[in-house]
Amino acid sequence: MKVFQVLAMAAVVATAAHADDWPQWMGPKRDNVWREEGIVELLPASGPKAAWRTPVAGGYAGPAVAAGKVFVTDYVTKEDVKVDNFSRGAFSGTERVLCLDEKTGAVLWKHEYPVKYAISYPAGPRCTPNVDGGKVYTLGAEGNLFCFDTATGKVAWAKDLKAEYKTNSALWGYASHPLIDGDKLICLVGGEGTHTVAFDKNTGKELWRSQTAKEQGYCPPLIINAAGVRQLIIPRPDAVASLDPETGKLLWSVPYEASNGSIIMTPVVKDDYLFIAGYSNKNMLLKLAKDKPGAEVVWKDKAKQAISPVNVQPILFEGVMYGHDQDGEMSAVELPSGQRLWSTPEPIGKRKVGSGTAFITRLGNRHFFFTETGHLVTGMLSPKGFTETSRAKLLEPTNNAFGRPVVWCAPAYANKRIYVRNDSEIAAFELAK
């Protein structure tokens, strides 16, 4: 009996330790939910204490935190990398993968490789590293895909997606966070018949390839269960497709027309409905079939209703979807009607700004917002409105968009801390009670 109790306690401890990590984009379950306890109710007036700060270079990629390490990618260059929103520029520099000690921020190892950028917003990589089973997977802005040993930084395998699949990077670079499913690493690659490719996560061997599209798009893959079947949902600039995650076989497809190839969000699923949207009010609600894999359009392109997210992943809370529209306002949207219940320029500011960005994370019944101004804001969301409860400045906005300074980097929450970065530093701040 005592042995059983010890094993049971060990299992609980192991589970709790795992839950404290933030090993990939949007957290352990890719749902932007932080499940730790013992977190401050209100941020201190003077701001949370910085546990450490470590210099980094440019990039939009958020950090991943796992097993006592922090992983982040950046881009080092001596060139002025400012480019108009819909223009490509040619730049040369070095992308880096950095592994830091979670407690101190000290650099444990790094990997560097030369890269030539020909994308808009060429500040650096976009994709959060993905940590799994003693390996970390990174995807650079121009399609450099790596698998590293987390302890040593040794390269287990690597691929140049553009060269191997004879494709080009999307206008805003490779920005779709790869998905780990069992022994598979699923990526949006591009190219003829290879829009979506699954690799063996241990060897890099291609397992299957599927579909063709004019451009990759930027939506992270999503696996759902519908009609009793596991389905891999892949939004593309020309369609929303469902694939068999084991084979890549097409299960169903619904046409979609993205403006400027800008389809970015992961779909939001509520009951039998799937919501997807992109730039220029290209929003769409699908109803998933119950008897066999399939979907039909309920409505689409609802201007001034629903939302059309650009930078921020919407979040579903108590049956209502909350997120930022392309005009920068945060809104509450009822599904399946698509009715917008309310809108506000907060928590970013008192007036709305185009592509306004505040990354939303839920903790219990309250929410944390890391804003483009470098503030961490806590608040409450309900169908009646948004209520701010506290605010603190964490970082300076070091990038530029639409003529204003911004920090467009998703945070990580783990070990009762928030981990955030801009184009000059990554820092950890204490959020324990």
Instruction: List Cα–Cα distances, 250 to 70, 200, 290, in angstroms.
Output: 37, 20, 17
Name the 3-class secondary structure at 192. coil
- Mention every residue, 6+ apart, whose C-beta is less than 8 A from residue 293: 226, 227, 229, 231, 242, 251, 252
- Tell me how far apart the alpha carbons of residues 222 and 385 are, in angstroms, rounded to a whole number: 29
Give me Rg for the CA atoms of the chain.
Answer: 21
Q: Are 427 and 52 in contact (CB under 8 A)?
A: yes
* pLDDT reported for residue 262: 85
Rounded mean pLDDT for each run of 10 residues along the chain, 433 residues in total: 41 45 97 97 95 98 98 94 78 97 98 96 96 98 98 98 96 97 98 98 98 94 97 96 98 91 92 93 95 97 87 95 95 96 96 94 98 98 98 96 94 98 98 96
Residues 6+ apart with CB under 8 A from 392: 43, 44, 46, 47, 48, 375, 376
Contacts of 135 (CB under 8 A, 6+ apart): 147, 148, 149, 150, 156, 201, 202
pLDDT at 260: 76
Rounded Cα–Cα distance for residues 395 and 406 (Å): 10
Choose among 166, 203, 198, 178: nearest CA to 73: 178
- Residue 281: predicted pLDDT: 85
The model's pTM? 0.94
